[in-house]
Amino acid sequence: MDPCQVPYRDLLDALYNSSPAEDVFQTLLRPWLDAHEEERDWLNAFAHSTSHAPIAIEDSWRLYALSRVNQVLLLAFQHDEGEGWAGPLLSLPDYLAFMTGLGCRVADEADYSPFFHEIVEVSEERNRSSRRKAVELARVDWPALMLGTMLFSRAGVAVSCAFGALHSEIATSSTLFWACRRKHRRTSDLSDGWGSNSQWRTTFRRDHVVGDELLFNADGKHDLAAPGLPASDDDLTVAERIELLTHRCFIRCEKPDDDLYPYGDRVRLPRIPG
């Protein structure tokens, strides 16, 4: 573990040790914000200087540490009880007060995009219709957060979709990659299998809005849009790799997802207006 991650690890441990009825915003989050002005300053500076160019490895580790805290806080807004700990007691306004207090900005996107939205529930029309959009937002359980042009955290959303646009069971229960904790589905993360300290030296996935385009996994080595792309070791087509990369899970593909390694892929796609 790098020293820059210690404040986040300490906060995470405190959240795990909180009591079920404890108001963690009052007892943990607000005091942590007050005690760690240097983290607010660093994140605000990062938000004002972000680009999709490579960043220092220590900065990536620091963002990853914050993302681990964020994923635990988001348990408060997930409906499935899951196994074990249900998560902290936290209201959405208090969650937003903490995250925006750190320098994040809410991305209020009216149209569904896998860049901004993580699907948690699907309602599919059983008959074919002339819908304007194949997938539409039906409910937002927690908002998307940005640090400058970089996506920090996707929104959790329920969607309605045209017949055949999504496979509802796959879209909501397939393994979610670049994630370490959800109540309602399996997750897979580059920290998996490492020790309690070593796992923290995991890099943060950086997705960026670049003008009229969306860049998925800026640090990936393999450009999925490049000609002559080598075949996947995971036996996936290019379209399936793009599906997995952009959604961070399968939404239609029925292939096994228990032993995949999408972490080296990247792609830049046009931002399609709603």
Report the 10 Å Cβ neighbour count for 247: 23
Report, as ranges of residue numbers, the positions in the chain whose pLDDT lies below 50: none
The helix-helix angle for 37-49 and 92-102 (nearest 10°) equals 70
- Quick one: pLDDT at residue 2? 83
**Domains contained in the chain, number:** 1
- Cα torsion for 37, 117, 205, 179, to the nearest 10°? 90
Tell me the per-residue pLDDT of 231-244, one tens digit each, with 9 for 90 and over: 888 999 999 999 99
CA-based nearest residue to 166, from 136, 146, 202, 130: 136
Task: Kindly give the pairing relationship between strand 117-124 and strand 155-161.
Answer: parallel
- Quick one: pLDDT at residue 82? 59
Structural domain harbouring 163: 3-270
- Quick one: pLDDT at residue 86? 87
Report the 10 Å Cβ neighbour count for 200: 20
Separation of CA 82 from chain center: 19
